Amino acid sequence: MSDSDNNCFRILVVDDDSTILDLYQRILDPPTPLPFRPNFEITCCCQGDDAVDKVKCSKADNDPYAVVFLDLNMPPGPDGQWTAEQIHRLDPSINIVVVTGYRTTLSAEVVNRASISDKLLYLQKPFHHQEIIQFATALSAKWKAERQLLALHSDLEALVDKRTAELVQSNKLLKIEVDNRKRMQLEIEHNFKNLKKVMNSTVQAITTTIEKRDPYTSGHQQRVADLSRTLARSIGLSDNEVEGIYIAAAIHDIGKISLPAEILSKPVQLSDIEVSLIQAHSQTGYDILKGIEFPWPIAEIVLQHHERLDGSGYPRGLRGDNILMAARIIGVADVVETMASHRPYRPSRGIDKALEEITQNKGVLYEPRVVEACLNIFENREFQLSS
């Protein structure tokens, strides 16, 4: 695929089972193209070292892959971890989805050892066809946006250098050059806003993938985001701070993309091991987001949204002012929305019970200013949780 082709993305599939490779081919490159979906050019191989060679060739031919779907265990050749590290070393822009049948914490161990968590996602076997399509579509869009951002950055740098050289050469052109630079700055700001929208849309696409795997919590993140924004405004935070809190709240559960769908939709209480896997989503979310340059500490807010004032939260047991105010706000909004909503393992407890919970634990678990603001907006009917 050439850089000028905006409608087709190259996908590399690596699995030692030929049946699985055929399944990928049918899902991503059907005989009859589907509307409203990009086209995918599929390359299949059954061993890790063969996959590494194909990535080398794609780089040499300037015909890179956007996404790699990679099996974790591929005897007798190298495993998925080695393959992921080699592919990332050759082309750091590739998004890698490790597809595995293991039901352990192996995923987190591989992420930590590979040190490429911002480009590494996980999908549990057996997978649904729609999951593969959603991953391929969202990650291809992300890959395209990042390439556009790099190209734009390079073009803008070249333009700035040219204008600066002209300014040094002649003071007579000073007024014209100042006007040009102002115009260029406006263009930069405009392009930055557009790129920010693309990045937010990409993150939202991945978040939607999580919610589609768990219909019982669909819309949870959006409702938490809406409530968090209202709370932030109520306690007097600036517009800039409110915007950052809204974005963090809208993706606060992005780490659940690494969890098996059966745990997310389990209709009974979870075991201790399953709870520990759920609680790891804060760290996973941080690992996914830490490589993205937001104007706010989004990754850190996502990491802290389950911390509590008395240190009883997770993952780091932070206390009091060591917890970001944004995370304290989202923490309250998350508790209220969760208790007031239906879950697979219990019916809704209602908004009254949710408000009773934060009232009883005001100053112990939850930030007092945020609790008071939450009680006021519901008492005055300034906010209502949507369905």
List the beta bridge partners of residue 98. Answer: 70, 122
3-state secondary structure 86-155: HHHHHCCCCEEEEEECCCCCHHHHHHHHHCCHHHEEEEECCCCHHHHHHHHHHHHHHHHHHHHHHHHHHH
What is 17-80 written as a DSSP string? -HHHHHHHHHHHS-SSPPTTS-EEEEEEESSHHHHHHHHHHHHHTT---SEEEEES--TTS--H
**What single letter denotes the amino acid at residue 178?**
V
**Residue-level pLDDT at 36:** 72
- Bridge-partner residues for 69, per DSSP? 13, 97
In this predicted structure, what is the pLDDT of residue 56? 95
pLDDT in tens, the chain (387 residues): 444 355 789 999 999 999 999 999 999 988 877 777 789 999 999 999 999 999 999 999 999 999 999 998 888 889 888 999 999 999 999 999 999 876 554 445 554 544 555 668 888 888 899 999 999 999 999 899 888 888 888 778 777 777 777 766 766 666 777 788 888 888 877 776 776 676 667 656 766 766 666 665 677 888 999 999 999 999 999 999 999 999 999 888 888 877 776 666 666 677 778 777 778 889 999 998 898 888 899 999 999 999 999 999 999 999 999 999 999 999 999 999 988 886 666 666 888 999 999 999 999 999 999 999 999 999 988 887 775
Count of other CB atoms within 10 angstroms of residue 136: 24
- The reported pLDDT for the residue numbered 206 is 63
pTM to 2 decimal places: 0.51
